[in-house]
Amino acid sequence: MKILFVCTGNSCRSQMAEGLARAAGVTAYSAGTEPAGYVHPLAVQVMGEIGINISGQKSKPLELNMAKDMDAVITVCGEAEEACPVVPHTNRLHWPISDPAKAVGTPEEVVGVFRAVRDDIARRVNELLKEKKG
């Protein structure tokens, strides 16, 4: 199975999803419509907490030709003001996940938001893989 995770900045949600899917044995990629150019350090940190290293991943632009070769394209945009990309693909899913990079509060509260997003994505990846095996 090959999955492409897409969001706007390709710095948090789609990067965590890529790492989680790869850890589950899936060929996974991520991309953004407006790539930030970096993987958010807190995304790297919270993924490291569960033994998944995404520090070598890169923020990259969405290429529609790449999407054509995927078994599934999953958009992970959550905020209403955020323009979630429309990717022409027959197996497109949308997971409305809030952007942890926009979290405010104490450093502990912000890290907590990143952890919650990571755990939400992990749950969704696991459910998707169970459906595909079932």
Q: Which residues are catalytic?
A: 7, 77, 84
- Measure the CA–CA gap between 74 and 108, rounded to whole angstroms: 29
Task: Give the pairing of strands 92-94 and 72-75.
Answer: parallel
* Host H or E run for residue 7: strand 2-7
For residue 28, CA distances in Å to 21, 22, 82, 113 come to 6, 6, 23, 24
Residue type, 48: G
- Assign 61 to helix, strand or coil: strand
Residue type, 29: Y
